[in-house]
């Protein structure tokens, strides 16, 4: 059966994802008996493993992908020189990459002189060498803002924190499930994200210009993460485009949090939530919907209804 093999070669499934008869039956329209025979044949050819998982002939690409994204975040100022790196467990969640590949990516950046890893505790970012170009600091230039501007405005693009956190959750869930969106739906999501990126980055630039930049490390860090994720290529297999969507959705949700949080003074060292962990606030709605809504014995407040799913 060529339908299953064509979907795998087209990149509909993330390498290592487990194929299920239910999803394949829905996407191809074939019955379970024919699909079992097709999967056994594909296992014999090496396209899937014996446990019906998509084969991954190039696992080193996971390391390269994590290294590229982390280096892009550092180059754009998400983690200033001398600042401590987040814990490995935090980077795993931000980069959507397994622990072993994330650790290997950190080692490669350390070998290149970008990071200094410690035997115990977090590593730190090293200053750029004198014989190399200076890393691009925040804030982005006019060209980067124009590059983030979508070719056309898409209806339904999310800009509020509540919707962005919902999109983030669904994007990461889809990445974890290993099944990509169809090309048309993927293109629609990329267009909506481009609209969101342009609006939030413009707000971030205005925020850093209106206040002393050192008082807004959260905005600077999360905005740099957004620009690094936005710079990932939109070409290649569908799962590479899904990786861009999921990491960008995470960065956008945390940028929305940083833009609505009150500015703070003092040290500019990164806090854990800037790299993917939730902010230490009273509850989730503090971070995405303004004042906390607490229910008591005398008064109950309805939670806001979920916004449209936008294809996720």
Whether the CB-CB separation of 88 and 82 falls below 8 Å is answered with no
pLDDT(188) > 80 = yes
Query: How many C-beta neighbours within 10 Å does residue 58 have?
Result: 9
**pTM for the full predicted model:** 0.79
pLDDT of residue 211: 72
The alpha carbon dihedral of 125, 126, 128, 134 has a sign of positive
For the stretch 212-226, pLDDT in tens is 666 678 888 899 999
pLDDT tens readout for residues 220-266: 889 999 999 999 998 889 999 999 999 999 999 999 998 887 765 44
Q: How confident is the model at residue 154 (pLDDT cuts 50, 70, 90)?
A: low
* Contact criterion met (CB below 8 Å) for 203 and 222: no
Better-predicted residue by pLDDT, 108 or 292: 108
Q: Per-residue pLDDT for 90 more than 70?
A: yes
Mean pLDDT check: name the lowest of 6-20, 39-53, 122-136, 209-223.
122-136
Which has more confidence, 308 or 258?
Answer: 258
Q: How many CA atoms lie within 13 A of 39 on its CB side?
A: 20
* Span 94-101, average pLDDT: 94
Closest CA to 132 of 67, 69, 217, 71: 71
Helix ranges restricted to H, 10-137: 21-28, 32-45, 60-75, 88-95, 99-111
Q: 3-state class of 297 per DSSP?
A: coil
Which CA distances in Å does 176 have to 23, 243, 252? 15, 10, 19
Place of tokens 């467990």: 89
At residue 295, does pLDDT exceed 70? no
């Amino acid at each position: 059966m060529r339908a299953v093999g064509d979907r795998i070669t087209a990149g509909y499934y993330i390498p290592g994802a487990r194929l299920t008869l239910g999803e394949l039956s829905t996407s191809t329209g074939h019955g379970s008996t024919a699909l079992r025979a097709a999967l056994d044949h594909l296992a014999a050819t090496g396209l899937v493993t014996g446990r019906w998982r998509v084969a991954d002939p190039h696992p080193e690409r996971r390391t390269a992908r994590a290294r590229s994204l982390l280096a892009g975040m550092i180059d754009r100022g998400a983690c200033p020189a001398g600042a401590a790196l987040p814990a490995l467990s935090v980077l795993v969640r931000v980069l959507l990459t397994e622990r072993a590949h994330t650790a290997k990516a950190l080692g490669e950046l350390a070998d290149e002189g970008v990071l200094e890893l410690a035997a115990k505790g977090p590593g730190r970012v090293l200053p750029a060498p004198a014989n190399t170009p200076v890393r691009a600091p925040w804030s982005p230039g006019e060209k980067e803002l124009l590059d983030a501007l979508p070719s056309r405005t898409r209806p339904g693009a999310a800009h509020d924190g509540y919707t962005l956190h919902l999109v983030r959750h669904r994007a990461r869930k889809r990445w974890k499930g290993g099944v990509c969106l169809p090309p048309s739906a993927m293109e629609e999501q990329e267009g909506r994200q481009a609209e969101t990126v342009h609006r939030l980055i413009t707000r971030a630039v205005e925020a850093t210009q209106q206040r002393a930049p050192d008082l807004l490390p959260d905005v600077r860090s999360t905005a740099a993460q957004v620009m690094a994720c936005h710079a990932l290529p939109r070409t290649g297999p569908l799962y590479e485009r899904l990786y861009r969507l999921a990491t960008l959705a995470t960065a956008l949700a945390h940028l929305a949090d940083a833009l609505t949080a009150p500015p703070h003074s003092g040290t500019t060292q990164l806090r854990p939530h800037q790299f993917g962990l939730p902010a230490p606030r009273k509850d989730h709605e503090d971070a995405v919907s303004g004042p906390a809504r607490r229910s008591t014995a005398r008064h109950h407040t309805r939670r806001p209804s979920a916004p449209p799913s936008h294809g996720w």
